[in-house]
Structure 1
């Protein structure tokens, strides 16, 4: 680690320790108020986030899935109530224990910085004291002990602040993070709800396909068969009436083309052939090119992506851009697809009027079902007035 980065770490650690001291004292003073469950969880969440940032680790909070409803993914997990309440006395104690040495160190450095050039400005009985109990009575003492105290305490801070801050942060995360058993129980509950969602989505998809085939393609094929039967009968009754037969055959031909178009639409809704032909990059290029709003596409190096994930990404982007065209009144949109380790991220943005909400039937609920089926996450940021950003993350390491 370079010297500059080390000093930056020392500074961040010092601020963290002083903040922990302040929060520990505040916890003691406001303990009755913080025993309110909502405030206790907020207080605990704030400490967990700052501890995670200090350690440079991913936040201990993870997206939490709800079984159903408007927001199947609802931001960071709130610390469990029992752990939030446990953190109150732990924070009061550890904040003071870890923060007080930092305050003494920083305070005495500041004292030495002030006392060295300005010792004479204090009264005889109020002369500053260096090294705890050595009064500054002259320039010799000031110029000798002042810089020495600054140097020693700065060296102490350089060595001690980072490990002290990391120790406090680890204690914080140990108290506030779920145990292995709790994480496993939560995971089992999430998978149970996900399985139910997948079964519901699968059933709805089968019903949709059946409805499309029955009401659309099958009806057209029946009409074609009837026209062909009438044409054959007309030809048998009056072979010279070529105009009637030609008209009936033309109607049957047009009906066949319409039936094929509908059938292709149903097939695309199951698995788009363009993915097999052109891959995810080519399929997304076709979708963004055909969008009614100018759309910029940025696809990173995705390596190998499972077909199921490709299909969900394709449907998510296609449905979202359809919503942009129909509802957002946007003049520009963007699609960015990237991969980090085993997570595939899709970000779709537009500069429209915002207010995207799956309760309005804009297709977000369908996207969410597909994403949840693969244990992914969906976040919608669409304030009234815009802009809108929809983020999808999917596991793709299997």
Structure 2
């Protein structure tokens, strides 16, 4: 992991832990209100989504249920109300236990930052203290203990914030995780939705191909046929008018080349011929070489991969790099393709401005639809200010 990405994780972990502390205190203060099943589910679902985003777990958050009456209290179908109510004391305890050390760490870093140059501005009785009980009474203490406290606590945050935040997030997901039946039902719902998306996309793709062939290639072939018919008739009526016949044949020849070009474009949009000609390695090399941003490509030995998986990887990388060129303002990008057992992983990164969101029509939604159609997953880590990392995982076992 690069240093920049590590510091991003430290920052996210610190923000998560401080949020957990605030959430734990708020749970205690608003306990009577949160004991109402609907609010408990909303509160639990917010925490579940927050923990899922930190861990990069897709589908971690879910819409809150809107049950009323006796069903709201018992919730026999899903069992989520009981887990949401259980999460209240767990969150109050773990939020304070995990968040308070983070607050002390950040707070003492701030104290040291202020005390080092400004210790003299405080009164004798109010002098700031470093390392808990060492009063700053002179420049020697300030310039030695102040930076040392900043360095030690920053190192502690660097090492401790990410794993502690992940530990709290895992506790949250464990407490709020679905039963086996609920996971199966949710999985069926996801597959049903992705199947509908695939059918819609397939229908739209067929309509596009039909439109391209009808309006482009077919129209050109009809024009070619008409020119050849006119040329044939002109040659039959007046064999001496060679110039007119030659012009018609030249137009027919040019139209044939244009029709062949359009037909190749249609075929390329269905299944890129470069995949069949050069394989996934060669196809991705061509995509990264042609990207408007300098892009590094790393591909492991993938062994045998199905054509469907290759096509999804190709289109995902091509679409992601197109987004990088158009929207990210990046100066460098990278593509990493690896395989572990029966899972193929693709990591696309850039050092741009971040903020990628599939709800804004940046093309990530199309990547997600293609990947979900093969029962894969897509994770997008793109905080405002960057960097961006898109991780695609696909099953590729035989």
2:59 to 45, 60, 63: 63
In the alignment, the residues of structure 2 paired with residue 211 and residue 386 of structure 1 have an alpha-carbon distance, to the nearest angstrom, of: 39
- Aligned in 2, Cα 1:237/1:173: closer, same or farther, shift over 3 Å? closer
Is 2:189 the partner of 1:192?
Answer: no
Aligned match of 1:335: 335
Is 2:397 the partner of 1:397?
Answer: yes
Aligned match of 2:292: 292
1:378–1:390 CA contact under 8 A, matched in 2 = yes
Where 2:292 maps in the other structure, the secondary structure is coil
Aligned match of 1:234: 234
In the alignment, the residues of structure 1 paired with residue 378 and residue 171 of structure 2 have an alpha-carbon distance, to the nearest angstrom, of: 32
- Aligned in 2, Cα 1:335/1:91: closer, same or farther, shift over 3 Å? closer
Instruction: Report how far residue 312 of structure 1 moved.
Output: 0.5
Name stretches of at least 5 consecutive residues in structure 1 with no aligned partner: 1-19, 54-58, 68-78, 100-167
For residues 288-327 of structure 1, the aligned pairs below 5 Å read 288-327=288-327
1:338–1:344 CA contact under 8 A, matched in 2 = yes
In the alignment, the residues of structure 2 paired with residue 65 and residue 238 of structure 1 have an alpha-carbon distance, to the nearest angstrom, of: 78
For residues 78-227 of structure 1, the aligned pairs below 5 Å read 80-89=80-89, 175-227=175-227
- Aligned in 2, Cα 1:297/1:172: closer, same or farther, shift over 3 Å? closer
In the alignment, the residues of structure 2 paired with residue 383 and residue 171 of structure 1 have an alpha-carbon distance, to the nearest angstrom, of: 24
User: 206-215 vs 243-252, which deviates more?
Assistant: 243-252
2:87–2:176 CA contact under 8 A, matched in 1 = yes
1:374–1:394 CA contact under 8 A, matched in 2 = yes
Instruction: Report how far residue 285 of structure 1 moved.
Output: 0.9
Question: Residues 188-225 of structure 1, C-alpha deviation per residue, up to 9 Å, x if partnerless?
Answer: 11111121111111111111111111111111111111
Where 2:298 maps in the other structure, the secondary structure is strand
Instruction: Report how far residue 235 of structure 1 moved.
Output: 2.2
Name stretches of at least 5 consecutive residues in structure 2 with no aligned partner: 1-19, 64-78, 98-167
- Aligned in 2, Cα 1:349/1:90: closer, same or farther, shift over 3 Å? closer
**Number of aligned pairs?**
287
In the alignment, the residues of structure 2 paired with residue 24 and residue 389 of structure 1 have an alpha-carbon distance, to the nearest angstrom, of: 31
Aligned match of 1:245: 245
- Aligned in 2, Cα 1:240/1:311: closer, same or farther, shift over 3 Å? same
In the alignment, the residues of structure 1 paired with residue 24 and residue 318 of structure 2 have an alpha-carbon distance, to the nearest angstrom, of: 51
2:376–2:395 CA contact under 8 A, matched in 1 = yes
In the alignment, the residues of structure 2 paired with residue 82 and residue 244 of structure 1 have an alpha-carbon distance, to the nearest angstrom, of: 86
2:305–2:396 CA contact under 8 A, matched in 1 = yes
Where 2:86 maps in the other structure, the secondary structure is helix
CA RMSD of aligned residues (A): 3.9
Where 2:346 maps in the other structure, the secondary structure is strand
In the alignment, the residues of structure 2 paired with residue 292 and residue 169 of structure 1 have an alpha-carbon distance, to the nearest angstrom, of: 38
In the alignment, the residues of structure 1 paired with residue 326 and residue 91 of structure 2 have an alpha-carbon distance, to the nearest angstrom, of: 52
Question: Residues 149-180 of structure 1, C-alpha deviation per residue, up to 9 Å, x if partnerless?
Answer: xxxxxxxxxxxxxxxxxxx9999776432111
In the alignment, the residues of structure 1 paired with residue 334 and residue 170 of structure 2 have an alpha-carbon distance, to the nearest angstrom, of: 40
Aligned match of 2:347: 347
- Aligned in 2, Cα 1:188/1:360: closer, same or farther, shift over 3 Å? closer
Over alpha carbons, which structure has the higher Rg? 1
Instruction: Report how far residue 334 of structure 1 moved.
Output: 1.8
Aligned match of 1:74: none
1:274–1:283 CA contact under 8 A, matched in 2 = yes
Is 2:262 the partner of 1:262?
Answer: yes
Aligned match of 1:271: 271
TM value normalised by structure 1: 0.60
Where 2:303 maps in the other structure, the secondary structure is coil
1:27–1:34 CA contact under 8 A, matched in 2 = yes
Instruction: Report how far residue 294 of structure 1 moved.
Output: 2.2
Instruction: Report how far residue 291 of structure 1 moved.
Output: 2.4
